[in-house]
Structure 1
């Protein structure tokens, strides 16, 4: 289940003008769960009431994140640590906050400053930035002091693109979207050279060779040469995923291909990106209240593959999708049948063969059969 990250404050202050209909807030870091009760007695009590057999105590956590690069960030009482896929703590860290690993480095916070550690826990870039993002394609956007401009550093902490932007996105497909001091967006290469001059009101990152751009409050798609290959015509547009992109016109959502042809008509109350050949959509637009609308899955032809029956859902990951029925979360397979019945108070999608699940105020991890690790 997606939750709001405390890291969102790292760059979102400067996100005004970002495609609010085209992309989610800046892809800075996967979320950390808000701290809950750190009291060990509460953890023990909750697990005695849990429908899950209690695992070893070192596999019960106050908060948990998805696995990334073989490790998952967890919180044990008042300290953060990383565990391996067996649930063993392999690295404890003395920082106030930390993030998942990206390209071998993780963001950490010390006081009001951000820096980076490696997988051995060694500080490789000292906490010195007011804001910082995770690494992507070898570079990370950073702001040294409040109110200063953003630039990019490499994994040695060396500035490779000097500070000159009031907003900076992650690199994707060799380019990054940035906002200049005239409040216009363009795209840079990894050397800091302009590939597409700043001229747009808002943009998204490149995906499948195309990026969404806003022109006069309408959204279209730009290729890597800066050519508008799909003219601005939509009220909202998202990056391509698996060859299709979701778009919005008024209150209806559908999908188009890379030629700009609408291949799944705009008919859904909401639509999400394709993942593993299926996309989560919201149906039952006749329902008077949003909470009465249901979520299901469509295939690439627009055919309903899994009937709209869930109160919430997430993308398919590793052959399973996290869904919510009533107040409980569980996992379904591609047929729509339950793989792990709904029993959790919170959960995350599968990543590297593990999923984080919540029972009461505590978190643990389960394998693909639903067994705690």
Structure 2
């Protein structure tokens, strides 16, 4: 028997699957070759090699017809596959986009990237083509503009499919903070959303702006410039990352740390690896052990664990002697290291594996059945 999902659990008998309720009563007959848990009132089921969806009464709402199908991509849309082609249907089985594409991807902004006959474009959630399927490559929209490639050159289109910045660049990056880094005739430029170049720099690599600073490379070293092109943090790092919440991760001589926007080192550049701050603490690695530092660089949780996850919901998974447990932000072990595998907490619970059994626990360690 599987775990309860939306008050129903998968049950198996004689290599067939169905569903039972909390009392153990079979509410959907054990007749399917394979089933997935219920999500948003529907479950994916397989019968005689084909897939469809049923509701919680067992009624088939998406015909058991397709070679394969995936969970909802955007809203109520489902990706379906038939004869090596892809399309989209809604949650009652109506065709939204014909099963004619070589591949389909969804993005968080409700645009859907499609491939057909080796070319790429975008659909909206009604299945309408909004960016013609004629580009050699397209990337997700960022600040309402998508980077596209055609005949070896790069440019930008909007969500109506209009080319708003000409396809003329030898290299280009996504827009961030209203700017994008491009290469034109061996010159690295920063352009705004109209395509106007406002910084021309002779350096090898120029990142996009984040918090008014962009990392930049010169002769294999990285520093930072402001929006006028002035170097405000010297070229002394082997690798640099964008600023976030006034801090940037940097690497120097194989070690990692954080600097602020003045270039001051706030977390010493002495760690083998360092991760983004979560819940005010950053996970660090040193000599194959893991611990946590705060934004002043102070080690607040000793570097003693074999592995660890970042903090989420105020707790972090840590591994010791081959087993996982959870600590709080003070470093107190609030759940003993007894689990084989754990995930990070989200909305008060997480999935764990103990002695080969998979189940959810709450933040007190109580098992949720």
TM bracket, shorter-chain basis: 0.5 to 0.7
2:244 maps to 1:236: no
2:183 maps to 1:179: yes
Q: Which residue of 1 aligns with 2:7?
A: none
Closer/same/farther in 2, CA of residues 326 and 104 from structure 1, 3 Å limit: farther
Counterpart among 289, 292, 297 of residue 297 in structure 1: 292
Secondary structure of 1:208 counterpart: coil
2:38 maps to 1:56: yes
Contact 1:251 1:269 in 2 (8 A): yes
TM-score, normalised with respect to structure 1: 0.63
2:152 maps to 1:152: no
Contact 1:278 1:298 in 2 (8 A): yes
Unpaired segments ≥5 residues, structure 2? 1-13, 18-35, 46-65, 80-86, 88-100
Q: Which residue of 1 aligns with 2:140?
A: 134
Q: Which residue of 2 aligns with 1:101?
A: 107
Q: Which residue of 2 aligns with 1:91?
A: 77
2:274 maps to 1:271: yes
Secondary structure of 2:277 counterpart: strand
Closer/same/farther in 2, CA of residues 120 and 305 from structure 1, 3 Å limit: farther
2:130 maps to 1:124: yes
Secondary structure of 2:195 counterpart: coil
Contact 2:350 2:362 in 1 (8 A): no
Q: Which residue of 2 aligns with 1:189?
A: 192
Counterpart among 202, 206, 210 of residue 203 in structure 1: 206
Alpha-carbon distance in 1 for matches of 2:350, 2:118? 29
More helix by share: 1
1:320-347 deviations in Å (ceiling 9; x for gaps): 66777788888766455578985559x6
Contact 2:340 2:352 in 1 (8 A): no
Question: Matched residue pairs, number?
Answer: 288
Unpaired segments ≥5 residues, structure 1? 1-40, 45-53, 62-75, 285-292
Secondary structure of 2:115 counterpart: strand
Contact 2:352 2:360 in 1 (8 A): no
Counterpart among 145, 165, 173 of residue 169 in structure 2: 165
Contact 1:97 1:108 in 2 (8 A): yes
Q: Which residue of 2 aligns with 1:223?
A: 226
More strand by share: 2
Secondary structure of 2:210 counterpart: coil
Structure number with greater Rg is: 2
**Residue 80 of structure 1: how far off its partner (Å):** 3.6
| Divergent runs of 4+, >6 A | 41-44, 322-332, 338-341, 354-359, 364-373
Alpha-carbon distance in 1 for matches of 2:334, 2:194? 49
Q: Between 258-267 and 96-105, report the one with greater CA deviation.
A: 96-105
1:306-329 deviations in Å (ceiling 9; x for gaps): 443555555555656677778888
**Residue 91 of structure 1: how far off its partner (Å):** 0.6
**Residue 123 of structure 1: how far off its partner (Å):** 3.4
Closer/same/farther in 2, CA of residues 144 and 231 from structure 1, 3 Å limit: same
Secondary structure of 1:133 counterpart: strand
Q: Which residue of 2 aligns with 1:35?
A: none
